[in-house]
Every structure is written in structure tokens, then in C-alpha cells.
Structure 1
């Protein structure tokens, strides 16, 4: 059947779930050729179809793919991101970087005009104006992904952001490790019993803030003394987003110190299986921002702890405790839920040398003991020989 006007067709990809649907736009060019373009959302497809009809109505032709702008590609890319299986936090970060750094600089640039030298100049200007290494890396990554989509669609011949390195030394926020006494002092300074337990559990198990907020009563097994981490509650752009998985997409069972089990038992005693373990004072879902401002920071000040103490530092504290007790890196990795041992070693590797020194000392003790034992045996043998000779 001849194609007279732009048409939109919905097409389902193999599999199921969001992101498995595409929208095909078909139209006939002035030369009579039937063309097709695919979009991740119906909105983007409709916009393209409308532009095609408007161009034909004016006696013109739809602009060539090479005349598309970076902004055009960015709009299609972010639509695909929103319909993907990425976490709400990741999508929010992508949108923020796109809105704040990429589109203001590149939105009106024709795709065919972007060169590697332009990308390098942009990153250099960001550095000169005080943008940190992380911000520059994220901005480069988003631009690379946008231009990658454009290259895949045939809108541009190559990805100008591919292979561009971002130079600079990373600036890490200093980790704070509480001693056991400081952890208890912080917990005791909390204004509610449930938050006292929260601090002690977070500081000994290493649960992430989103894992704490998302924990339900059914995930606390008092019989085995473990917490099953299988879902999170993330605050994104002022709204709470429930995610039926952890950061690494893997559930894990985390042991709880036996001394804290009675406190946990009291906390979940009257709760239904689906109820949150920790909530706001009014019983609603726990918002990290409100908890920090109204409860955590005041308690830290009352306990005489640094004002820059973060909730995430309780996770660092748990890791430091495990390592100080001789915890193997793989064991620390599993408890904290890291996706790889490299993350564990990169984050806490500086805490392991002290254990290495202890281990070296213990090897020396074994050697000394072996030498002393060997000397004692030789002495005994010589005594026996002398005795036999005399006889």
C-alpha cells in the first residue's frame, strides 16, 4: 500500500516490560522513497511525524539527518533512558547533567559540526570555571551517550566524545570512622528509640541509607539473627521512589550482632510483615533529608561529633569495625553488598595494611616458636646420646 502521509506504528520487541516497545515512523520522501525511523517513545515519534508533514506542506523536505542538533538527539536519548530498566536515581542524575551541563552548551549545535577538539575545549572550560572531576566526567559521559545514539541512528558519522579522557585528580569526601564509644554516644543522643536502634544497626551492619529506609518487618529474621536486604526507598527530586531491588540488583543476608536483636524485636513486635521497620515520627516513610535535619545532625552535635558526619559514615564505621576484627576483604564485600572486590579494596584498602603488619608479626611468632621447639628437640637428642654413651 503506498505511503502518502507519515504514519506511526507501535512495535513490541522480544521480551516484556518497559523499554521493550518501539514506535516506527514511515513516510515517503520527495524522491518517492519510503523511509522509516524508530523512536523509543510515542511522543518523540509523533513530534517527528508532525515535522515531516509540516515540511511537506510547505513544499520542502524533512531536514537531512546531518542537520539534526545535539538537542534533538538528547531528547530522543533521554526518552529511551526514562523507559529503560535503570534506577530512578540514575535517571534523575542523567536528567540533571543533561539539563545543567550538556544542553546549555550543545543543544543548538548541528551534530555534523561537533568535533573532538570542541569536546576537549568544553571540558577545559568547565575545569577552568571550577567544575570538579566528577562533574566533568559525568558531563562527558552523557554527551558521549547522546552522540552514540546519534551515530547508531545514522544521524552523524562518528561519536566525537568517544575516547575523550577527562584529566584531573579525584577529590574524595573524607570518610569518618566512629569508634565503638562514639557510635554508642550518637545512638544514645537520638531523640527516639527507633532511631537509636537505627544508628546501632547501621553502624554495625553497613546498610545503605536507602536500604534502611526501605527495610520491612518481614525482612528481619530474629531466629537467624539476619536482615535480608532486598529493596530500597530512594528520595529523588523530593519524591520517594520504591525500588524492588538493591543497588547491585542482588539480595543479601546481613548478620546482626546478637546484642541488638532484642532491640530489633521490640521495634518490629507490633508491625505487620509489610510495614517499614523505621518510619518518620508520624509513621510515614522515612525521608533521608528530614531525618538528617531533624534527628541525625542534632544528635551528632549533642554527642560532640563533627558537624560534617554523614549517615553514610555509619556504613564506613561498620566496615572499619569488620576490618579491625580481622574480617577478610571478601567477607566485608559480601556484608556491605559491593558489586566487586575492587570496590571494597579501593574504598577501604588503606585500612588493611595495619592487619598486614599484624599478620607479619604473627608469622614471626610462628617462626620463633618453631626455632625454639627445634632447639629444645636437639638438646633432648644430645642428652639421650650422652646417656647411651656413658652406659
Structure 2
């Protein structure tokens, strides 16, 4: 309950002491979801006259019953409960799906992050029933104008706006199912998410040619580029990504045991049995909060086996076993659970005699692929004349250059252009449906394999006569 407390100041006006009017009240301390924690804090505001102070007091007292600012225990109607109450309830329901294996933990964390970052500050403490369609419309407009990062003028990407809006709409729908509101105000806002609306171009991937992949691998390895640090291991990994199509988190999750070597028919050149290798994709690894989190691939279809081309199989065999008199490059190749690709050690680099500056490798933990892209692949891309992808910064527009994920696109397009059936490419990519592969790479399928070509014959009528039905319609 808000109340007014008057006190004298040291100021005087017309010989009289000037009074100040303090409006004081206590309110619950709320968590990140806008829900009361059970503790209270004191608040106060100062006004120069009693009339203004009384208006503010009345406003605060009314708000206890209309906007959900009183303690949760005092709420009597479902519509008076705050948005954060239903947001937490919906997240708890998603956590049950995670426990039952119906939802990935990462998806659950992304939902919580979107709610916390974009929605809860605005609606967390608001009574769910007080949120109108106009409030929803203003929220969407604010999302579109919101900068992508602090101090940056570039707005949020359309995908981020879509996901943040989706979280708001989903929580409101959850509240409607629980009888808190009769309709979802988000449904009354015009927000089209269908592709192809308007004249905005779709996102274009940037696959590389085989020659460009070779140049990029050489730059990462430091071969012929004296201004770049030499990382032969990462040069091999770059080729591996372009010729297996693995996602970044899948590549980080690879361990020694995930490479299965066999021997095939005798190779023509060497006269020895050819080495074959298959990569088994069984897990993902991502670094979150300074810790490595092991997860499962994106979908059931993402648990797959991908064969390597013979030349890459030989390189991987030499990397793990050695070739001739050359020892294996991987010092822990006899440990099945060791990371396939090493990280880099903290604490700077070194310059061994006769070698260029490079950071020491750490074979005990996986490689953070985002850091690899920023610190190693980007400079290599620029060295070979390929644009690297960069976000908008300091007033400069974003550059849609070559991303790490474009090595996956490279794998797909090279196979499709070589005549590999799109269904097989889809299986190797781990796509959930063949339709996804067609929608993404349909333009790369050759015409003779079902690509975009029109073979429909010229129409003709029997004996060159106009059909009876056409004569009847057009007389």
C-alpha cells in the first residue's frame, strides 16, 4: 500500500518552510521472469506538491490490482498473473520434452535466451490479461528497430525478430490454453513469416569450387603464404569439412573412434590395397560458458556415416597412423575418445627454429569452431581473395561473404554437379527430408538428373480439328 509522507526542507518561500511530499511503498523483488521472489524492497519518490503526490499514490495502489505488481500470493484470477508466470510454465513444459528426448537441450536453452533477452524486460511483470493487440504491435515495431548489439546501428536480423516474436506469441498461446486469456493478441498483428513475400532476396550460400578449396587449405596450412601462421592440421581439417559436409558442432564432436578405416581393392598407382575411411557422426560438442557440452546430432537422420574420397582417406590415415617413415601427426591417435582435431593453447604462440609464428596445439580438448573461423579461416579467405562474412559494425554494412557453413554447401554442390543423386547427397548431409535438399540445392542439380528443364511437347488436336467442347465454348 502506497502512502504519503511530508517533511520540511531547508528552503523557504515567502517566509514559509517549503515542504516535500514523499510517496513511499513496498514492492516485491522479482526474478528474471518478472515473478516475485518472496522478498520486498522499499521504494519512494519525491514531489513538490501534495496534489501530484496523491495522484501518484492512487496510481500505485490501483496498479496492485490491474497490472500484476502485487505479490503472487495475492493474485486471484489467472488473467492477473504476470506474463513471466506463464513464460516459466511454458519453459517447464519444454524441459519435460527435453527429459523425454522429444526436444534438444540446446533448443530449450535458445528459447529461454530469447525470452530473457527480448521479451521479459517488456512484459515479464505485466498481468497477462492486460496485454493488448496494440501492446503486441508496439513490441514488434520495437523489435524491428532494436539494434543487434549495444553501440551498433544495425537492426536485428529478420530471423532474430521472427524467433523473438515467436516466443512472445507462444507464451500468449500457452496462457490462452490455461484459461488466462480468451484470445491471443499476437494473432491480431500482421506478421507474415512465409518465404517469398515481398521482393526481399533469399539468403544465398557461397559454395567454393575445388580449386578454391585447394587454395584455402594451402593458406590455412601456411603453404605459399608467408604472412599467415602455418597450421597444417587445420589445413587438413578444412579439406575434411569441404569433402564430408559435416556441421561445425559435428566436426567438433568427432573423436578418434569415429573414423573407421578399411582396405579396398589394390590401388593402381601404388600397387597396395587402397585405404578407405568412413566418418561416423554420432555426437556434437559445443563450448558454452567455458565448458564443453556434448549433445546429439540435429535429427535422427543426422546420425549417419559419410565416406571419404580415397585421397582424403589416405591423408587421414597418415594423420593418425603415419605414412612410410613419417610418424603420425596426432599424438593421441591410440586413444579412441581423444578429440580428432586439436584446439590451441592459451598464452600466446611460439616461433620454432625455421618455422613461422603459430600458437601451440592442445590435443586434450576439441576445437572451438567459431574461434577457428575468426582467427584462422577469415585471414586465409582474405589471403586467397575470397570475402569473409562480417556483421555490420561502426556504420558499415554487413558482408555476406564465405562462412564456415559454406564448406558444407561446397560438399553438396560439388557432389550434385558431379552427378551424385540428390537423395544420396541428402543422406550424407543428414537432412531431415529430401525436400530440404531440393529446396536448398535444386539449382545445382544437372538437367540430365532431373534439374530445371522443360520437355513438355507442343500440344496438338486430333486430325487438326478444333475439339467439339472448344467450339461450344467459343462458338
Structure-1-length-normalised TM-score: 0.70
d(CA) in 2 for partners of 1:358 and 1:149?
Answer: 44
d(CA) in 2 for partners of 1:237 and 1:173?
Answer: 30
Root-mean-square deviation (CA, aligned residues, Å) is 3.2
CA deviations 1:175-222 (Å, max 9, x no partner) are 111111110111122232321221111111111111110011111111
Correspondence list, 1:203-352, <5 A? 203-223=242-262, 225-236=277-288, 239-243=291-295, 245-250=296-301, 251-269=303-321, 270-280=333-343, 281-283=361-363, 284-308=365-389, 309-352=402-445
Write 1 or 2 for the structure with the bigger share of strand: 2
SS of the residue 1:189 aligns to: helix
d(CA) in 2 for partners of 1:83 and 1:237?
Answer: 23
d(CA) in 2 for partners of 1:137 and 1:151?
Answer: 21
Correspondence list, 1:1-391, <5 A? 61-82=74-95, 84-85=97-98, 86-127=103-144, 130-162=155-187, 166-167=191-192, 172-190=202-220, 191-223=230-262, 225-236=277-288, 239-243=291-295, 245-250=296-301, 251-269=303-321, 270-280=333-343, 281-283=361-363, 284-308=365-389, 309-352=402-445
Give the unaligned 5+ runs of structure 2. 1-30, 40-70, 147-154, 221-229, 263-275, 322-332, 344-360, 390-401, 456-475
What is the match of residue 54 of structure 1? none
* Residues 262/356 of structure 1: CA separation in 2 closer, same or farther (3 Å cut): closer
1:172 shift after superposition = 4.7
d(CA) in 2 for partners of 1:49 and 1:95?
Answer: 19
* Residues 287/128 of structure 1: CA separation in 2 closer, same or farther (3 Å cut): closer
- Pairs aligned (count): 311
Give the unaligned 5+ runs of structure 1. 1-42, 52-57, 364-391
Structure-2-length-normalised TM-score: 0.59
CA deviations 1:316-343 (Å, max 9, x no partner) are 1111101101122211211111111222
1:82 shift after superposition = 4.5
d(CA) in 1 for partners of 2:136 and 2:216?
Answer: 47
Write 1 or 2 for the structure with the bigger share of helix: 1
SS of the residue 1:143 aligns to: helix
1:356 shift after superposition = 6.0
CA deviations 1:228-283 (Å, max 9, x no partner) are 1110112345543111x211134111111011111111233323111111121211
Checking the alignment, whether the CA contact within 8 Å between 1:267 and 1:277 is kept in structure 2 is no
